[in-house]
Amino acid sequence: MADKRVFTDRTEIRDWAAARSGFPAIVDVSPEGGTQPMLRIVFDQQAYQDYDRPERPANAGGYELVEWDEWFGLFEEQRLALVVGPEIPGQRDSSHEIVRRDD
């Protein structure tokens, strides 16, 4: 991303997500469930879960909406950063990456 911005501050991340109707979510990518969480931010219609779907294991590729406190706990534990593009007046681009922090 050209002119990328890197956020690690909780307030900046929450403000960026809120401006784009983003919600914190966790995807369990482990083979056994509950052992390898991957963070996501979901936007707009993606944030509405379909509760009419058949039962499936928690780690079957879906995501779980969580509270920001839980999301940030993993964010800090895994030493991550949110990378976004430049702020463009009149646009609310939700493109982002969640990456490991450079020390």
The DSSP element (H or E) to which 100 belongs, if any, is: strand 96-100
Q: pTM for the full model?
A: 0.78
Residue found by looking up tokens 């997500």 in the block: 17
Pull the structure tokens for residue 94. Answer: 């939700």
Residue found by looking up tokens 């450079």 in the block: 102
**Residue 61 CB neighbour total at 10 angstroms:** 9
Q: Would you write out the chain's pLDDT as a tens digit for each of its 103 residues?
A: 568 999 999 999 999 999 999 999 998 776 665 567 889 999 976 555 554 455 555 545 578 889 999 999 999 999 999 999 988 888 888 999 999 998 6
